[in-house]
Amino acid sequence: MINLSGKIALVTGVADNIGFGWHIAKTLQAAGAEIILSCHPRVQSILERYLEKERYLETRELPFNKGEFKPSKLFACDVSLDSEITSCFKHIPKLDILIHSVAFSPEITRQHIDVSREAYLTAMSVSSYSLVALSRAALPAMQNRSGAVLGLSYLASERVVPYYGGGMASAKAALECDARMLSWFMGQEGHRVNIISAGPYASRAAKAIGPVETMIDEAAKRSPLKRPITPYEVAHAAAFLCSDLASGITGEIIHVDSGYHVMGV
C-alpha cells in the first residue's frame, strides 16, 4: 500500500462523483493524504451534494475499506482566471501534491476543422495553460516539500481521433508539452511533473464528446488486455506517481489504457 501520510493534495477540476478526479482524490485520501478539492463555481452546489447527501454515501466509500471520503476543504475556482487561482492559494499555505483534472471546450461537439478560434483558444486556456498557472501559484506552498504535479491527458494528443473535437486534441497535446517544460522549471525546486494518458471512460465529461461507449468498446477490442480501463486503475497510477516510490520519474506521459496506445492496427 502506498503511504502518503502527512501529505496535502489539491485535486482540481472535480465536478461529480464518477470522474477521474473524484477517484484520484479518494485514492490519495485512502493512502493517507489530506485532500483539498477545487471545482468550477457552476458545479460547486452539485459537488457539495455528492459530498453530503446520504444517498451518495456508497460513492464516498474509500478504496481498501479506509472509511468515508471527506476532503478538508472545497474551493470554487475558475482556472481560466488568474485572479481566482491566486485567491485559492491564499488559503493553501502548504501543499505536496497538485492534481490537474481540468478540461473544457465550449464547442466540444464540433469537429476539429469546424471549431471557432474563440472556442479553440478557450480550450487551450482552460485545459492546458491552467496547468502552468496552477503550478506557478503552487510553488510557494510547495517550498521545501518535494512536490508532485500530475495532469490527465488522452491519446488524441498523439494520434488522430476524429470525433475528439472542440480543439481538445490540441489542448491535450499542449498539456503534455507544458508538463515536459514544467518538469524542468519545477525540477529546479525539487518537484516532479507527470501526465497520465487515460483510456476512454464513460465520465460525464466524456459523454459530451460523443459515442463514448463505442470508443470504450473499440479500444477494448483492440488493446492487448482486451478490456476497458477502470477509474481506479488511473487513480492507482496517480497515487504511485505522487508518492516517493516515483521520486525519480518526471516529465513522463504514462498511458493507462490497457495498452491500446501501442497498437498499430
| CA pair distance 124, 147, nearest whole angstrom | 25
- Tell me the CA distances in angstroms from 98 to 44, 64, 258, one per residue in order: 19, 23, 25
Contacts of residue 126, Cβ cutoff 8 Å, sequence gap at least 6: 79, 80, 102, 103, 104, 105, 171
Mention every residue, 6+ apart, whose C-beta is less than 8 A from residue 133: 79, 82, 85
CB 89 within 8 A of CB 33: no
**Could you give phi then psi for residue 154, rounded to 5 degrees?**
-150, 155
Catalytic residue numbers read: 128, 172
